[in-house]
A and B are shown apart, each in its own frame.
Chain A
């Protein structure tokens, strides 16, 4: 109907007038059922979150208005500052590292036109469909004091490196972060493989005639060609990193201390465990704003560079 001029439906038929009146309201009738549920369970709660975030409330007694207090807390409260700092670290593990690995991996595979790519694609994408709770259980067993990782380290004589990975103040954050890398890398690689498959073969041939090696080919042909895919990959993985709740809940509960806590876990902890509902709402709203800004920024940067 997009390209269809109104008049082409032909005037003059009896009842046309009522039909046109009906037409004016028809689109809204089709949208209404979806919109009602969407408004009630998404838009309204979102507005309510902004409202709640301006109050100090324990979930039971009377709320006190505190204005932007819950937001300034994010900057002054050490635990919250740590949580947002860890979110930055998670962006590295979920998005930056997988994009780096994915680029090299996809480039190598594209250059070689290796066989078995279809099977490889199926395998590396698998982590994306396994419930995060299940992934957490699997890695918790690997990181356990007598788990696979420590067993391997002992068997190669590196006993000094063994530790309770998830209970360690220094190593728990990268240990949990690497679970995110494990989940993301396949998605990124598959996305980039699809982008690289569209690069015309002549481009590579021309480059090789000019004597370009693998590295220059990578920098001057492959990376610029997959700019769009890289943007999508970064957006998807960064957003996923900021929504890491189940993983933290299942593996470390933010511990030891506050060494692995993240904003989404703090939302849950404050709203449902420590009775700081207003603060929880403020963290949720802040998280939403950050997701918007990051999405916008990644897309802007990629557009400007194109």
Chain B
């Protein structure tokens, strides 16, 4: 297809203009993060990578990042394992109540955290379970499993049944077929799921905010919110902290962007 030179120029202008709109907040926070934290720092120069170390220590981000990693490891590993198992059943087996059960899982993709957070907090408080890592992690496992079951079911349904038949003829059990054939074959689909679950868990805000009222299991995004409340005048340190909180997911995104984009576009439930 040919378009005129004017249109071509216009197109690039739009591309660049729009990219700039997207980049402005990103670049402005990066600039602030490397900028001087106060007037005396400003006299020493314009470039201050030391802000990151200062923010890390003053905002106790070592502790918060540690909690975030712990929560992410629990949520992602548990959700992936459970989703593979349930997706396998929904994708390859026929049983009574299959459809009803599957719709029940789909429900969880749409229910907002806001709806379940209130009873979760008050019920777990009754059992003395708030302020534990499980109170922060397990509700997120439930959310991720809803998506994961849907996602893995789609993968297992896409597998050519003759592969499973051949393995069964060779005498392989259901578990064997799953773990030595289907899981290795499904690495791309599973990777996409892992990446998405990691991002959701790392960026989650409401659940850790409510489920750890004492702040003992404060994750990195909450640490940032807390830091914002504590240091109202230090924009440079706050910006540096924000960059650190965003960094793990952003780095992963640049390494595996196909998985991110594919997952987020295809993961949308159309039912």
The residues of A with any CB-CB pair to B shorter than 8 Å are 1-4, 8-9, 24, 26-28, 30-31, 33-35, 37-38, 40-46, 48-49, 51-52, 59, 105, 108-109, 111-114, 116, 120-135, 137-139, 141-142, 144, 148, 182, 186-187, 190-191, 194, 201, 204-205, 214, 228, 231-232, 235-236, 239, 242-243, 245-246, 249-250, 263-264, 267-268, 271-272, 277, 280-281, 283-285, 287-288, 291-292, 295, 299
Collect the chain A residues with CB atoms within 8 Å of residue B45's CB: none
Assess the A138–B206 pair: CB atoms within 8 A.
no
- Interface residues of chain B, those whose CB is within 8 Å of chain A, are 1, 3, 7-8, 10-12, 14-15, 18-19, 21-26, 28-29, 32, 78, 81-83, 85-86, 88-90, 92-95, 98, 101, 104-105, 107-108, 110-123, 138-139, 141-143, 145-146, 148-149, 157, 161, 164-165, 168, 174, 199, 202-203, 205-206, 209-210, 221-222, 224-225, 228, 235, 238-239, 242-243, 245-246, 249-250, 253-254, 257, 260-261, 264-265, 268, 270-271
> Are the C-beta atoms of B14 and A267 separated by less than 8 Å?
no
**By the criterion CB–CB under 8 Å, are B116 and A45 in contact?**
yes
Complex contact B142–A41 (CB within 8 A): yes
B90 and A131 within 8 A (CB): no
- Asked if B268 and A31 make an inter-chain contact with CB atoms under 8 angstroms apart, the answer reads no
Contact status A126-B26, CB under 8 Å: yes
A133 contact from B82, B113, B242, Cβ within 8 A: B242
For A43, what are the chain B residues with a Cβ–Cβ distance below 8 Å? 104, 107-108
Instruction: Give the docked Cα–Cα distance between A36 and B109 (Å).
Output: 16
B residues less than 8 Å from A2 (CB atoms): 92, 94, 157, 161
B109 to chain A, nearest CB (A): 9
Q: Which residues of A contact B221 (CB under 8 A)?
A: 131-134, 246
Residues of chain B lying within 8 A (CB to CB) of residue A299: 270-271
Which of B21, B112, B121 interacts with A287 by CB under 8 Å?
A: B112
How far, in Å, is A232 (CB) from chain B's closest CB?
A: 5
- Nearest first, the 4 closest Cβ-Cβ pairs linking A and B are A48-B119, A41-B142, A284-B115, A30-B89
Q: Which of B93, B115, B168 makes the CB contact (< 8 A) with A285?
A: B115
- Shortest CB distance A188–B (Å): 10
Contact yes or no, A236 B119, CB < 8 A: no
Contact of A112 among B11, B83, B202 (CB under 8 A): B11
Q: Is the CB of A190 within 8 A of B25?
A: no
Main secondary structure of the interface of B (DSSP, over half): helix
B120 contact set on A, CB distance < 8 A: 41, 45
Q: Are A31 and B29 in contact (CB under 8 A)?
A: no
Which of A130, A250, A291 contacts B228 (CB under 8 A)? A250
Residues of B within 8 A of A245 (CB): 113-114, 205-206
Q: Are A4 and B23 in touch, CB under 8 angstroms? A: no
User: Residues of A contacting B222 with CB < 8 Å?
Assistant: 133
Q: In the complex the two chains form, is B115's CB within 8 Å of A112's CB?
A: no
Find chain A residues with CB under 8 A from B19 CB: 120, 123-124
- Rounded to whole Å, the gap between the CB of A247 and the closest CB of chain B is 9
B179 to chain A, nearest CB (A): 12
B141–A41 touching, CB < 8 Å: yes
Contact of B225 among A127, A133, A243 (CB under 8 A): A133
CB-CB under 8 A for A138 and B249, given A2-B92, A34-B149 = no
Instruction: Known contacts A133-B245, A271-B121; decide if A125 and B1 are in contact (CB<8 Å).
Output: no
Interface pair A267/B118, CB less than 8 Å apart: yes
Chain A residues contacting B115 (CB-CB under 8 Å) are 45-46, 49, 267, 284-285, 287-288
Q: Considering only CB atoms, which chain B residue lies closest to A114 in the complex?
A: B11
